[in-house]
Structure 1
Amino acid sequence: MKQILLILLFFVSLGAFAQTGAIRGRIIDNITKQPVIGASVRIDNIQLGATTDTAGVFTINNVPIGTYSVTISSIGFQTKNISEIIITSNKTYYSEIELLEGASTLGEVTVNAFRGENNPMTPVSTYSFSREEIFRNPGAQGDIMRALSVLPGVVSGGSQFSAIAARGQGTQDNVYMVDDIPMFNLSHLEAEGFNSGFNDPNGGRFSIFAPRIIDNVQFQNGGFDAVYGRRSSSYLGLGVKEGNRETWSFSGQFDLLGATLIADGPISEKTSVFASARYQNFAMLINLLDENRSAVSYGDYIIKTTTEINAKNKLSFIAMYNPEGTSRTIDDVAFGTAININDDNSGRNILWNHESSKTVVGLNLRTLINSSSFIKNVLYYRSSTVDNNFGRFNPSLDADGIIIDPRFGGYETNIRHITNNQQEVGYRSIYTRRFNKAALTAGVDAMMLNLDYERRLSRTDTVYSFRTIEIGANPARYYQLLDPSLFNSTFDDNAFNGSAYVTLSWKLSDRFTLNPGIRYDYTGFTEQHMLSPRLSGSYSLSDRHSINFATGIYYQDAAYADIAGQPAGNTLKNEETIQSILGYKIQFSSDLKFVAEGWHKQFYDVAVQPNRAQSYLTNDGSGYAYGADISLIKRLSRNYYGQISYSYMESVRDDNNGLGNYDYIFNIPHTVTLMGSYKPNNKWIFSGKFRYSTGRPTDRYVIHSDVLGTADMLRYAQEVTAVNGDRFPDFISLDIRVDYNVQRRWGTFSAFVDMVNTSNRFNVNAELFIPETGRISNVGLGVFPTFGVRVEL
């Protein structure tokens, strides 16, 4: 009996031992990347903590499993609080944490761990997300791009699209950086060539990052400094999670769309690895929603290693591969009878086959030069390939547009063919040094690009949707002929891009910080030299109140597809934007702030398309945009977070073709967002988000019937009488998410339900004109559900 009791006590004590983990990390200076010695690290609400050693490293052992917030403080630095640190059995949570330099005007204000915020070097329009906030964001389904759409001044194409447009500009106008590597774009399923052979302005549908891949996010809605360029609207910097240097973990998420697998841990004493593989297939969801049949799938594969070579050098390697494919064949459109070609989201007569991929490989070496400076060298290769085929099915219809016999009627599978292959080898070197009252950043970028582009029309095609000015030569013919000689293009060339920049963050007094900077760019394909002066600053009225501002010139490279599509002798110019921002911020507490900002933009040399049926572009466009954003944001700490925001915006363009000003496609005058998340205990999380915005602009038009004048082929035509002269119905969506988490000795089990647009209101994103019936098919989305489970070992 005594032996049995001893055995039971052994297992009980073993179980108790298994219910603890550890926290370990390194604290460094945000500006110099030097270790912070003697920093205090305390786990809130329990009597556990540690102090950093001479290498900035701390360790807290025997932490009971659970979810904690940690407070880090050190003399001369802003106190930082990190929430939602999850401790699992026999695992060590590891993180490298940066502290911002202290400011006497901040008094006793503690700053939560959100990258870039409360940094005098980025005083305006700066927002960030933690990994847990991205994952919890209702309706985002763990997608970083969808999570960003809740920020003030940011809009998207609605629930069907994830690409963002910021403050009166488009989805192609944002700077994207991943681990300091510039990216072509961050989206899947961007329909290049869908819109009469030209790009869809809505952008992509899903980001290329699976949930819990991105560890830190910094977003600036304009006014970013001279370090970043070649795009003019906003800056989005993403940091991929580094591998845990202490212990291994494995996780898998399985949901309605597919699966994601993650491995994270050390592979040697100095090197850690983080690897992720995701595959998504929409067949089940398409059947569940009874949507238009097609095959849609994509994958995202990433590996990142981090090596502490020595005390001064840290090297990271990253490789990403993001393939995708979607198709709609004659078998997909001919799946049954009594199908109405006019139905919303129908597109019943469009056939396509789309394949593309993105590849990135990069090395990032951070070297500490001395106690006040460091240099970062980045070498990378990136490529993007697109291969699109578009065809048409010509079904037999009755008078109401019902397909009589799906398998009767001609079809073509390769009317338009587009290939767009881009490759770039680049090098960036960025030097940072702190002085007594200032911080200097200077750098150079060098890129060699190859663009191999081809757009082919197999025969003369007919376009039944046109603007009035496009048929001026023959006003009695209510259609356009898409001529291969004016559409086809072949381009295969190399170009060099170079940049140099310097910016200074100068602390003029305890209250006033000024950030002047200047950037030089050379763009090889446009053979253009550009100089971009920029200035931002912050003045602290008190320990919690500040006035912030930014102004500058921003140039945007011409899109590669536009460059490649031009006839011989027509060279595009880069677009120019002049921005100004003035804001007021109140930091009520470490996790609660109010921000109000007004902004204005002036646009010059905007690329415009005089005739939508031709690839010829000019830089005759101009325009302006202005607006104001107001937000009250409660960041994630303790057990809840939320946001209330309102944005007003006007964005106007003028193609200078005699028709005057018109609303830009992302002119959204009013946007309201309400979002909240509550965690009553360690098992349940409840989140909700309500979004309202003014409907997006759409063309005003008239319909012409029997435009071919032949009895055996009835066709209608859409004549656009006013570009963006009308609007879609207002966008309204209520998203709800519920998460359930339970920790076991072997790891963590999670389940979630994420419902986009729970009321199933059909929010229209775009319109498709149907020449066979003369009606409009709305493109949009109602309810979009997903659910799944996640296991972490």
Structure 2
Amino acid sequence: MGNEKNSSYKSERWRYLPPLKHVTYEAEYLVKKGRSRSALMEQECQGKSNIIAGENKAVSNVKLMRTLFLTSLFFLVTSLTMAQVTGTFKGKVIEESTKQPIPGASVYVNNLKVGATTDTGGIFVIRSIPVGTYPVTIASMGFQNKQISEVVITANKTYYTEIALLPLTSQLGEVTVMSFKGENNLLTPVSTYAYSREELFRSPGAQGDIMRALSSLPGVVSSGSQFSAIAARGQGTQDNVYMVDDIPMFNLSHLESEGYNSGFNDPNGGRFSIFAPRIIDNVQFQNGGFDALNGRRSSSYLALGVKEGNKESWSLSGQFDLMGATLIADGPVSQKTSIFASGRYQNFSALIRLLDEQRAAISYGDYLIKTTTEINAKNKLSFIAMYNPERPVRTIDDVESGKNINDDNSGGTTLYDHRGNKIMAGLNLRTLIDAKSYIKNVIYYRSSHVDNHFGRFNPSLDDDGVIINPASGGFDASLRTIKNDQQEIGYRSIYTKRFNKLTLTAGADAMVINLDYARTLDRTDTIYSFRSTDRQPGQQQNYQVLNPSLYNSSFDKATFNGSGYINLSWNISSVVTINPGMRYDYTGFTGQHTFSPRLSGSVAVDDRQSLNFASGIYYQDAAYADIAGQSAGNKLKNERSIQSILGYKMQFSSDLKLVVEGWHKDFRNVVVQPNRSQSYLNNNGSGYAYGADVNLTKRLSENYFGQISYSYMQSKRNNNDGLGEYDYVFNIPHTVSLMGSYKPNKQWIFSGKFRYSTGRPTDQYIVYTNVLNDPALLKYAQEVTSVNGTRLPDYISLDARVDYNKQTRWGVFSAFIDIVNVFNRFNVNTEVFLPDTGRVFNVGLGVFPTFGIRVEL
């Protein structure tokens, strides 16, 4: 910011905000009032003492001392009491594009009509704010006004935050926008949504889980309430770019059953996020069309910012709910360094008993530490480390007699013992080079460890499928084993420079990956579910023999991946902005070089309306487990998609926005499995997807927020095996989502969400009886005659959440109840065939409640 802007700002800054009033804070008023009363009382006592004579003088002096003591005590108690019911709001305002501090910016606490102006370092402070929750507006000449929906002021503490402002655009004029990271940014003109920390926490049915909260966005589908992993616009749960503090992540979910589906990944993804509630400070989600800075996955881009430690005051908090506990420590460790640390442990024993589900031992933990250091005015360094272990186990001792294996969520006859963890550590250094440029350097380590064992038991059953004796036919606790250890050391360097009408971003990534993978079948096994195309020529039996020689694989290699990218944002005129970009990737395991040109842009219709577009080529690395499972002569290629998006955006008011988008994707080199009884894969697949999304969002302001969205989607695949195209597993033609939250007073928040979607595709099949020709060993088989040829029942769920918050002199007390699917409609995600009965059991979820309390000191 130059001196010219600072000099002009003083006279014009209030055109963006109402005038600030000089504040007489309640605490100061009462203190002054107490002093005045004290002075009058003292004068009165002095007057009386002059009138009284002789022996009464001593009594008068005693009365005077008592009065002075009581007055002083009143003053002290009043001062302490008022100090306990006020807090401070402090922070730093910077430019989003260059990270430079913005002097002279106005920060305005709306409800109190008080505020402050940032100094030359972008710092502001507002003191003596009564405890409570307030909306805050930030304004500066040449930037979009920004409104923060909820700033929580706690007694005797300082709420500290860093606020980034986006450049003012002709599309927005002088409108104040409830914008968060990435929204209303000309670099990301399409498909960009964001959540604040408070919006994430109160999202009904999400139970504080970031991934579950995202499932209500347009174009996003999940596998129902039982799973949290998301699939976006016609692609799968493994196709999303995940970044945490600019560090790439393998995935963000717990309890993903790798190896469950005949040795390959469960397409449903994981079930719970690795982030505890209130860990994530900001979210940016792009549902396709993202720029050249991100790659190696092609569906969507999810950037999560972990909360930075408070630089001014300490707080300790604990949340205790039905599944476990979360502890958080947040505060300064020195004048320049702050820390944010959290630990969560979850155990499902109580919930399993409450829902009367299959018995199993399921637990996981999430442990995180982040430090932030302002080295000097130009350099900011953050360090982050995460450890996320998990251990779901189902042994023969967990199987009870009297249970029907045909029942929903019965677990069938599968046993498992999964040991896994994720580790990530990274350093992120942001350096301001000059007034218009900065560079970000990131070095990181990440690893994923999976050691999964799958077994089977052979129970005796009655005619209805009820277990008589779980182990009557014996059991094998570890028939199949999957070991998948991945380690990666990486470095990223990203440079950004802003010119007059042009912003340049360029960077490079380098990473070394080590993959140690082993898939083992202990003995020849029989597969009782197969596709018509799996049959070998002349084969007569109605089952498949799984031979260890065709299943087992071992892979232990290291390789190098490299990327380079450049992206421009060019304001051609006050109406038109375009963002051309180019990305280059080298993938070591496939030995492939790819180039991905991309283009996005925006055309302003008027101050509130714009037309937006994006198009480009996106390459996706083959999954490491798929690469490791192939023979030496079979190299998989990267999958390719061409994406196009055209959208319309209308900003009705500062907190109300309508977005309508149509999109199309074309897929080539899709990895497919020709035969389920073999690990062989190839790139013969192709496909396409298209659809449209409509979203009306009322951001969190005043006392309520809400969202209405509708998505139409078609997604088709073709394995090019002569059977033609079929519905992709996440082909969900219709999805409707309604969500709202209302805060009638300072204590209570009521939230609800209704979601409807078309049932997921599932296979059509025929069933064969006594396929082993042995009545003493009766087995059934399932032949899939049409892949995804029919559909499961539609998904319908109504979620409800109630929060109670009470500010006290010692901190904050909160209680909540969050209920997924309050009407207990059983929503089916998957059907699993049972060779023992010839029937399927449904995997899904009915009502899913959780409740708990939270205390912050």
If the length of structure 2 is used for normalisation, what is the TM-score?
0.92
Q: In the alignment, which residue of structure 2 is the partner of 1:120?
A: 186
Aligned to 1:66: 132
1:168 maps to a residue whose letter is G
Q: Within 5 A, what are the aligned runs for 1:578-593?
A: 578-593=642-657
| Higher share in helix | 2
| Number of the residue aligned with 1:152 | 218
| Displacement of 1:407 | 4.3
> Alignment partner of 1:297: what SS?
strand
Partners of 1:105 and 1:556 in 2: how far apart? 34
1:266 matched to which residue of 2?
332
**Deviations 1:178-217, CA, capped at 9 Å, x for gaps:** 0000000000000001112111000000010000000000
Shift of the alpha carbon at 1:9? 4.5
Deviations 1:407-432 (A, max 9, x none): 42300111001100000000000000
Corresponding position of 1:789: 853
The answer to whether residue 266 in structure 2 is matched with residue 219 in structure 1 is no
Q: Are the aligned partners of 2:344 and 2:366 in contact in 1 as well (CA < 8 Å)?
A: yes
Give the Cα separation in 2 of the matches to 1:105 and 1:535: 19
Matching residue within 337, 348, 355 for 1:289: 355
Which of 298, 306, 327 is the aligned partner of 2:393?
A: 327
What is the aligned partner in structure 2 of residue 777 from structure 1?
841
Tell whether the 8 Å contact from 1:591 to 1:637 is kept in structure 2 after alignment. Answer: yes
Cα separation, 2, equivalents of 1:279 and 1:157: 24
Q: Distance in 1 between matches of 2:177 and 2:403?
A: 58
Aligned counterpart, 2:467: 403
* Alignment-derived partner of residue 318 in structure 2: 252
Q: Confirm or deny: 8 A CA contact 2:171 2:609 kept in the other structure.
A: no
Which residue is equivalent to 2:376? 310
Verify the 8 A CA contact 2:741 2:751 in the aligned structure 1: yes
Task: Answer yes or no: is 1:621 the counterpart of 2:685.
Answer: yes
d(CA) in 1 for partners of 2:526, 2:374: 61
Contact 2:457/2:471, CA 8 A, preserved across alignment: no
Unaligned runs of 5+ residues in structure 2 are: 1-65
Cα distance per residue 1:286-339 (max 9 Å; x no partner): 010000000000000000000000010000000000000010001001x3x321
Question: Separation in 2 of the partners of 1:116 and 1:198?
Answer: 35
Deviation at 1:473, TM superposition (A): 2.1
Share of identical aligned residues, percent?
71
Contact 1:127 1:218 in 2 (8 A): yes
Q: Does 1:739 align with 2:739?
A: no
- Does 2:436 align with 1:436? no
CA distances 1:662-702 after superposition (whole Å, capped 9, x unpaired): 00000000000000000001100000000000000000000
Aligned equivalents of 1:351 and 1:599: distance in 2? 43
1:100 alignment partner in structure 2 = 166
Deviates more, 1:190-199 or 1:542-551: 190-199
Given that residues 337 and 372 in structure 2 are in contact (C-alpha distance below 8 angstroms), is that contact kept between their aligned partners in structure 1? yes
Cα drift, residue 5 of structure 1: 5.6
Q: Is 1:137 matched up with 2:189?
A: no
Q: How far does the alpha carbon of each residue in 1:151-181 deviate from its partner, in whole angstroms, 9 at most, with x for none?
A: 0000000000000000000000000000000
Of residues 283, 290, 299, the one that matches 1:233 is 299
1:276 aligns with 2:342: yes
How far apart, CA to CA, are the structure 1 residues paired with 2:720 and 2:457? 38
CA contact (8 A) 2:812 2:856 kept: yes
C-alpha distance in 1 between matches for 2:422 and 2:411: 27
1:103-156: CA deviations, max 9, x gaps? 234222101131111111100000000000000000000000000000000000
Equivalent-residue separation in structure 1 for 2:175 and 2:686 (angstroms)? 44
1:647 aligns with 2:647: no
Task: Give the aligned partner of residue 157 of structure 2.
Answer: 91
Where do 4+ consecutive residues of structure 1 move more than 6 Å? Answer: none
- Provide the secondary structure at the position in 1 that maps to 2:73: helix
Confirm whether residue 457 of structure 1 aligns to residue 530 of structure 2. no
CA distance in 1, matches of 2:784, 2:539: 13
Query: Partner of 1:516 in structure 2?
Result: 580
AA aligned to 2:748 is W
Alignment of 1:759 onto 2:823: yes
Q: Which amino acid aligns with 1:162?
A: S
Distance in 2 separating the partners of 1:650 and 1:12: 66
Three-state SS of the structure 2 residue aligned to 1:111 is coil
2:275 counterpart of 1:209: yes
2:374 is aligned with 1:374? no
The change in CA–CA distance for 1:474 and 1:770 in structure 2 (over 3 A counts) is farther
In structure 1, what residue type is equivalent to 2:477?
A: T
Superimposed CA distance per residue, residues 632-691 of structure 1 (whole angstroms, 9 cap, x where no aligned partner): 000111110000000000000000000000000000000000000000011000000000
Which of residues 339, 343, 365 in structure 2 aligns to 1:299? 365
SS in 2 for 1:158: coil
Other structure's SS at 2:563 match: strand
- Pairing 1:183-198 to 2, within 5 Å after superposition: 183-198=249-264
State the one-letter code of the partner of 2:631.
P
Alignment equivalent of 1:568, drawn from 617, 632, 645: 632
Question: Aligned partners of 1:406, 1:188: CA distance in 2, in Å?
Answer: 29
Partner SS, residue 776 of structure 2: coil
TM-score normalised by the chain length of structure 1: 0.99
* Residue among 344, 361, 373 paired with 2:425: 361
Given residue 224 of structure 2, which amino acid in structure 1 is its aligned partner? G
Determine which of 473, 483, 499 is the counterpart of 2:537: 473
Q: Structure 1 residue 475: deviation in Å?
A: 4.3
Q: CA deviation at 1:17?
A: 2.0
Letter in 2 for 1:790: R
Q: Which amino acid aligns with 1:223?
A: G
- The match for 1:530 is 594
Q: Secondary structure, in 3 states, of the residue corresponding to 2:777?
A: coil
- Mapped to 2, the partners of 1:107 and 1:348 lie a distance apart of 60
CA distance in 1, matches of 2:539, 2:750: 59
User: Is the 1:430–1:443 Cα contact (8 Å) retained in structure 2?
Assistant: yes
Shift in Å at residue 348 of structure 1?
A: 3.4
CA distance in 2, matches of 1:406, 1:722: 34
Among 412, 416, 419, which residue is 2:480 paired with? Answer: 416
Deviation digits for residues 757-781 of structure 1 (CA, Å, limit 9, x no counterpart) = 0111110000110001100100001
Paired with 1:68 and 1:448, the residues of 2 have a C-alpha distance of: 47
> Comparing both structures, which one devotes a greater share of its residues to strand?
1
Whether the 8 Å contact between 2:317 and 2:327 is mirrored in structure 1 is: yes
- In the alignment, the residues of structure 2 paired with residue 377 and residue 91 of structure 1 have an alpha-carbon distance, to the nearest angstrom, of 33
- Is contact 1:471-1:477 (8 Å) kept? no
DSSP-derived class of the 1:759 partner: coil
The one of 772, 780, 784 equivalent to 1:716 is 780
Alpha-carbon distance between aligned partners in 2 of 1:327 and 1:30, rounded to the nearest angstrom: 46
For residue 347 of structure 1, report the CA deviation from its aligned partner. Answer: 1.8
| Residue 746 of structure 2 corresponds to residue 682 of structure 1 | yes
Report the Cα distance in structure 1 between the residues aligned to 2:510 and 2:129, rounded to whole angstroms.
Answer: 47
Partner of 2:123: 57
Deviation track 1:328-371 (CA, whole Å, cap 9, x = no partner) reads 001001x3x32111111112311110010000010000000000
**2:555 aligned with 1:491:** yes
Q: Secondary structure at the match of 2:406?
A: coil
